[in-house]
Amino acid sequence: MTKEEIKRLVDEVKTDVIAWRRHLHAHPELSFQEEKTAQFVYETLQSFGHLELSRPTKTSVMARLIGQQPGRVVAIRADMDALPIQEENTFEFASKNPGVMHACGHDGHTAMLLGTAKIFSQLRDDIRGEIRFLFQHAEELFPGGAEEMVQAGVMDGVDVVIGTHLWSPLERGKIGIVYGPMMAAPDRFFIRIIGKGGHGAMPHQTIDAIAIGAQVVTNLQHIVSRYVDPLEPLVLSVTQFVAGTAHNVLPGEVEIQGTVRTFDETLRRTVPQWMERIVKGITEAHGASYEFRFDYGYRPVINYDEGDPRHGGNGVRAVRRRGSGPLETEHGRRRFLRLFAKSARQLFLRRRGQCRKRHRLPAPPPALYD
């Protein structure tokens, strides 16, 4: 297996990857509904030969390429689901499913992994160990399809798991790398303040859930600014405050929701304790009651790669020679390898698709990134 041979195979598969991506873009399916997508992926993989195929769950696919020599087990993962967005593009491969669109690049991820599987299947005699190609369903939902796949055993024996995401802010041809923490754990919270409703003209006869909720929102921000070391990354955002239906009636309840992003596991487990203490103190002070729920999402993405120059290997150095750029550590653009990487080292990269304009995903029209 020479660099020239690999380059030739890459050049040969480009047309296929574009065709697969366009087919997937035209036929998007929502999370846990990717039946036709999974079937398309399965049949395409079947045509390559040398791959052991399985369906770990109803709408996911795994392909195993077992080399001729012993070695590590490397998993490469892509997501397949689309978003509930109405596509406004008019090109021939625009979404044919009303209200559903591949607006976050998962059609591209799936097509790229199919192309990768095709190339490696042609290099089987040179493979040491095993490569697993994981086509994940339901990445967009919380907690998503990764947990189901892990429970089905797709990560058993895996040493390293690799993933990537199209990222338009990068320059064309560049790969974005973060060593160590890359994406934070995306947890969410729900608070219900239970007061006593009444007429807006007689607030003294009520327990004002809105006023209490406003104090809760304000005091939750003290966690970031006063409870935590300024050098410790933490985001706590209240994103929903729902109350009332009439202009002259004080509601009996308020619902507050939001998200918390952390990298440190100890801090992650401590923040909800602080939050509930604040909610409890404020509501009790005003004679109200409360409900509090904190839902843990995926673990943070912490990149570790033996190819990192600090670890003495050459994998990432090879990427750097071809052109790469640093990425800012992000407070959780959710989901990707967190569950897959519980039992294996991980490397998550970003690369730019060939977009006419740079924009962040989910992508507004036009989604042109062959």
Segment 259-304, tens digit of pLDDT:
999 999 999 999 999 999 999 999 999 999 999 999 998 888 888 7
Dist. CA 367–CA 245, nearest whole Å: 39
Q: Of 87, 107, 139, 140, which is the active-site residue?
A: 139
Task: Characterize the bridge pairing of strands 198-199 and 249-250.
Answer: antiparallel
Q: Give pLDDT, residue 332.
A: 46
120-167 tens-digit pLDDT:
999 999 999 999 999 999 999 877 899 899 999 999 999 999 998 887
The one-letter amino acid at 230: P
CATH fold of 3-183+300-351? Aminopeptidase (3.40.630)
Q: Of 81, 130, 148, 208, which is the active-site residue?
A: 81
Which listed CATH number (1.10.287.70, 3.30.710.10, 3.20.20.70, 3.30.70.360) goes with 186-295?
A: 3.30.70.360
Q: Give pLDDT, residue 129.
A: 97
Token representation of residue 318: 């090879």
Domain with CATH 3.30.70.360 in the chain: 186-295
Of the two residues 68 and 109, the one the predictor is more confident about is 109
Annotation marks residue 81 as catalytic: yes
Cα angle 150, 152, 153 (rounded to 5 degrees) comes to 65
Domain with CATH 3.40.630.10 in the chain: 3-183+300-351
Share of the chain above pLDDT 90, in %: 71
Report the predicted TM-score, pTM, of the whole model to 2 decimal places.
0.78
Those residues whose C-beta lies under 8 Å from the C-beta of residue 336, and which sit 6 or more positions away, are 77, 79, 139, 163, 165, 183, 298, 301, 348
